[in-house]
Amino acid sequence: MRSIEENYQRIADDRRSFDIRFWQSQGDRAIFEAVWEMLHDYFLIRGKDADEFRLQRTVESFRKA
C-alpha cells in the first residue's frame, strides 16, 4: 500500500524541509523518474521532439582538450 504525505503551508514560507525529507525518502530511482517525466512534459509543452532529450544524444566526435 502506498503512503501519502501532505504538507500545508503558505507559499511565502521558505521552509523546504518537507520537500527535502520527502525526496530523500524516495530514493535515487524515483527522483530520476520524476525528473525524466518533467523533462518529457517540458519538451511537449515547447513543441519539441520529446523522444530526443539532450541526455540521449549520441557523441559525434572526441578530441583531446
Residue 52 within any structural domain of the chain: no
On the question of pLDDT at 58 being above 80, the answer is no
According to the model, what pLDDT value does residue 16 have? 81
Residue 34 within any structural domain of the chain: yes
Q: How many domains does the chain contain in total?
A: 1
Residue 5 within any structural domain of the chain: no
Element (H, E) at 38: helix 28-45
Residue 50 within any structural domain of the chain: no
According to the model, what pLDDT value does residue 4 have? 81
pLDDT, tens digit, 9 for 90 and up, residues 6-51: 888 887 777 788 888 888 998 999 999 998 889 888 888 888 876 6
Residue 41 within any structural domain of the chain: yes
Segments forming the whole domain that contains residue 30: 17-45
* Distance in angstroms (rounded) separating the CA atoms of residues 55 and 62: 17
For 26, the grid coordinates are 524516495
pTM of the complete model: 0.56
* Distance in angstroms (rounded) separating the CA atoms of residues 40 and 30: 15
Residue 65 within any structural domain of the chain: no
